[in-house]
């Protein structure tokens, strides 16, 4: 598809939101150690920035789920890469790039909940609440209700554009004004 990219959130704006989230999370988890669970691939840049701003001790693990998890007929998360660390009795914070319909995360929460973490919370860079079809409520959200398909800062379109430092909306060329 022919398209252009329109910047909608600058690197500076993103940085401000990441700082705010890091302050909130550091305050809430004071005196505890957090297992940060980064959902690959989209959240890797957000997580790298967020982690370096936290003031509580963390351990980090990664989990990759397939992009078609929502439409999988088995209704289960297709886990491409599972965690290495045990989550039993741990304070787990999921770090996600974007929560849209909430399909991926609702399935993932079910799976992770069965591993008996002491607590399980969600931090997402983008929270598109208005598009939700499942009852998933992020505990920490950077930017809310963004229209269009987004790329940059870890988010991709067919694996491209993850490296861009800002967030862009993909605009089909025919829709350009």
Residue 53 near residue 18, CB atoms below 8 Å: yes
For residue 155, state whether it binds ligand IMP (rule: CB under 6 A).
yes
Q: State the binding string over 90-119 for Mg ion (x if CB under 5 A, else -).
A: -------x----------------------
* 100 labelled catalytic: yes
Q: Is the dihedral of CA 158, 123, 144, 106 positive or negative?
A: positive
Nearest to 169 by CA among 158, 155, 177: 155
**Cα–Cα distance measured from residue 162 to residue 152, given in angstroms and rounded to the nearest whole number:** 5
- Catalytic-labelled residue, pool 91, 97, 100, 127: 100
Instruction: Choose the contact partner of 150 out of ligand IMP, Mg ion, none; CB within 5 to 8 A by kind.
Output: ligand IMP
Residues 107-146 that bind ligand IMP (CB under 6 A): none
- Residue 163 near residue 106 (C-beta atoms within 8 A): no
Please report, as residue ranges, which positions from 51 to 110 form the binding site for ligand IMP (by CB under 6 A). Answer: 70, 96-105
| Half-sphere exposure for 44 (CA within 13 Å, toward CB) | 11
| Interface with ligand IMP (CB under 6 A) | 42, 70, 96-105, 149-150, 155
For binding to Mg ion (CB under 5 A), which residues are involved?
A: 42, 97
Active site residues: 100
């Amino acid at each position: 598809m022919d398209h252009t990219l329109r910047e909608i959130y600058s690197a500076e704006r993103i940085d401000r939101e990441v700082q705010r989230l890091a302050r909130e999370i550091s305050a809430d988890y004071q005196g505890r150690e957090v297992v940060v669970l980064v959902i690959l691939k989209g959240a890797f840049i957000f997580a790298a920035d967020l982690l370096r701003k936290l003031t509580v001790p963390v351990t980090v693990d990664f989990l990759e789920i397939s992009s078609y998890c929502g439409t999988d007929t088995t209704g289960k998360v297709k886990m491409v890469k599972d965690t290495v660390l045990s989550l039993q009795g741990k304070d787990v914070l999921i770090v996600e790039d974007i929560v849209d319909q909430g399909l991926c995360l609702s399935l993932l929460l079910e799976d992770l909940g069965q591993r008996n973490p002491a607590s399980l919370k969600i931090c997402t860079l983008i929270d598109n609440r208005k598009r939700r079809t499942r009852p998933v409520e992020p505990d920490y959200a950077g930017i809310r209700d963004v229209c269009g398909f987004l790329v940059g800062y870890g988010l991709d379109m067919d694996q491209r554009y993850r490296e861009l430092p800002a967030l862009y909306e993909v605009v089909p060329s025919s829709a350009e004004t």
